[in-house]
Amino acid sequence: MAESGSLPTGFGELEVLAVGMVLLVEALTGLCLNSLTILSFCKTPELRTPTHLLVLSLALADSGISLNALVAATSSLLRVSHRRWPYGSNGCQAHGFQGFVTALASICSSAAIAWGRYHHYCSRSQLAWNTAISLVICVWLSSAFWAALPLLGWGHYDYEPLGTCCTLDYSRGDRNFTSFLFTMAFFNFFMPLFITFISYRLMEQKLRKTGHPQVNTTLPARTLLFGWGPYALLYLYATIADVSSVSPKLQMVPALVAKTVPTINAINYALGGEMVHRGIWQCLSPRGSGLDRAR
């Protein structure tokens, strides 16, 4: 979508403002919850374990997604008055790259957490620091590699239909985009989804045999499908048909849905964990922290 001095096609001022407010709420909620997770890891010694390092990686990635959403929200609100993307074409490329890096890191960190929990429950041994650090480095280097490829010519970043955020340009649907999409999706969506599903499924079977309390093993995989499935469907449709036949408002749905992932992950992986929950409470309540240490 080209930078222009008018509102994007298919959107009125109220609709642009509404999208901006939704993005703002998503961004601030995700930032607050994931910042608490990061703070609790830094301030609570009990959380400095290899397993929680993977959760920290996810929280950092999701904080990046929320920051990306905050930029998009600000752009939406500014677009009503300025009628244009305020950061220029280079800003669009940077915004697309940052969003893609953190999105891929979030997906792959979820898969790493799933594997880490499978290792813990099925081998009955703690994850080693070397393994956890290697996983985190691999996740971020891989994410940066795939996100850099559109800057180098394989794929391309461009404006979303609303013109307030940037992502992979799926409007072309040419061989360049199609080859990049299928290769990237296999390694960064389907493989992590498969690892997440299989890890939790095997963990569920192990817990059932040993008589341990059951855990919700389908929620992480469903979160990945819910958060990133709409983007996958839109990109897939763009490879087989003219995406301009899809209304601009409908094309914005995947972006809005994806920005809820940081909040869902924070609730599922951090607030849902007893130790992380206690660490967050200690960070918010110094008196409570003192009492816990006294005990």
Indicate the pTM of the whole model: 0.88
Helix segments in 124-189, DSSP class H:
129-148, 175-185
Residue 85 structure tokens: 């993307």
Q: Is residue 290 part of a domain?
A: no
Neighbouring C-beta atoms of residue 117, cutoff 10 Å: 19
Q: Would 3 be classed as within a structural domain?
A: no
Residue 213 pLDDT > 50, yes or no? Answer: yes
* Residue 204, domain CATH: 1.20.1070.10
In a domain, 51, yes or no: yes
Q: How many Å apart are CA 24 and CA 27, to the nearest integer?
A: 5
DSSP secondary structure string for all residues of 175-214: HHHHHHHHHHHIIIIIHHHHHHHHHHHHHHHHHHHHTPPP
Residue 281 banded pLDDT, cuts 50, 70, 90? low
* Banded pLDDT at 89 (limits 50, 70, 90): confident
User: How confident is the prediction for the chain on average, in pLDDT?
Assistant: 84
Are 55 and 269 contacting, i.e. CB atoms less than 8 angstroms apart?
yes
pLDDT at position 81 is 63
Residue 8 lies in a domain: no
Number of domains in the chain: 1
Q: Give the domain extent around 44.
A: 13-281
Query: What band does 295 get if pLDDT is binned at 50, 70 and 90?
Result: very low
**289 domain residue, yes or no:** no
Identify the band that residue 269 occupies on the pLDDT scale cut at 50, 70 and 90: confident
Q: Report the range out of 11-20, 131-140, 198-207, 248-257 with the highest average pLDDT.
A: 131-140
Q: Assess if residue 137 is contained within a domain.
A: yes
In-domain check, residue 80: yes
Asked if the model's pLDDT at residue 122 lies above 50, the reply is yes
The letter for the amino acid at 277 is: H
Residue 68 lies in a domain: yes
